[in-house]
Amino acid sequence: MTIKVNRRLGRTGVPISPLTLGAMNFGRWQEEAESARIIHAALDAGVTAIDTADVYGQGASEEIVGRAIKDRRDDVFLATKFHGQIGEDPRHAGNSRHWILRAVEDSLRRLGTDHIDLYQAHRPDLHTDLLETLTTLDGLIRQGKIRYYGTSVFPAHQLVEAHWLADKHGLIAPHTEQSPYSLLVRGAEREVFPVTRRYGVGVVAYGPLAAGWLSGKYRIGGEQPPSARADQVPGRFDIASERNRRKLAAADALARLAEEHGLTLVDLAVAFALNHPAVSSVIIGPRTSEHLESYLKAADAELGDDLLDRIDEIVDPGTHFLERDTGRDTPSLRPEALRRGRTGEDSRP
């Protein structure tokens, strides 16, 4: 099965396939041979973009991707990220000029390429001035080491600030934003997507299956599905948890809705993420060839207005169930920011 390259990456004008192959599993939960098979099968099926990060497998994912695409580099729009800590040294992390200039060279070496098509700040860095990050990335574009740059899980106010700073200082502004977006995680619709559309930023959405909640395995009355993610963050996936009860009910209702329309829940989930006009491409993370086939099939599913209205009745637009699902660490929601009187540092009544 093949898919059409019928989209553009924001204002860049770069043609991109509706699905982007995510490489987070490579070198972590997937052996290299199976990873390479999936990479080549995806490219053969019309997928044009691969997204990885230096922190995935502490560089192993980039190395696997680099070896797999060695003879097909010109066919791949290659994206990677910086920010996460590499090794034990806390200086090997963040969005500072000091780290970015080293991180990009390490990624180029691991990927076996002379340029990165899309270089992304994996998360905001509260300790680094945003202008420093933008200036450094602007310089890498002018040097030819990267073609475009973007952000990932940046709140709307920082996206606006980035474009304001770029305009003020004559810099190239961010081209993309990578955001979690799914039937169960719709917070981006409220503020992030309006900002990206205003500035022509291409959204590369990740998590269309909501970390497995939309795989079809999470059903009312069913057993707790086994999951490597659930083992790491059990509270986020525990179906018996009070905080997940509404989420489970929504996942079950969406599965029933998909069945009513002759779709699998995967079909519904991927097609929904692709349906939003702000979204340029959706990242998929297949662990098997069968998973890849199901994603490719889902890319062709069409959702009518009546079906989309039914989805909105199950999950309100612009909402999410758990703050953890947004991928953000929001400083204003930390206890020390909410409970100023408990630190003893603020004597105001």
Q: How far is CA 167 from CA 9, 28, 88, 208, in A?
A: 21, 40, 37, 33
Is 168 a member of any domain? yes
Instruction: Cite the active site residues.
Output: 56
Q: How far is CA 18 from CA 147, 160, 168, 213, 334, in A?
A: 20, 26, 33, 22, 36
d(CA 25, CA 32): 10
Which tens digit of pLDDT belongs to each residue from 266-280? 999 999 999 999 999
Whether the pLDDT of residue 232 is over 80: the answer is no
What CATH number is given to the structural domain containing 320?
3.20.20.100
Identity at 14, one-letter amino acid code = V
Is 2 a member of any domain? no
Is 234 a member of any domain? yes
pLDDT score, position 5: 87
Query: Which residue would you say has higher pLDDT here, 62 or 225?
Result: 62
Whether the pLDDT of residue 113 is over 90: the answer is yes
Is 60 a member of any domain? yes
Tell me which residue range forms the domain holding 50: 7-342
d(CA 167, CA 162): 9
pLDDT score, position 95: 98
Which tens digit of pLDDT belongs to each residue from 161-194? 999 999 999 999 999 999 999 999 999 999 999 9
Is 219 a member of any domain? yes
d(CA 107, CA 81): 9
| Burial of residue 107, with CB atoms counted within 10 A of its CB: 0-12 exposed, 13-18 middle, 19 or more buried | buried
Q: How many domains is the chain partitioned into structurally?
A: 1
Is 347 a member of any domain? no
Is 167 a member of any domain? yes
Is 267 a member of any domain? yes
pLDDT score, position 8: 97
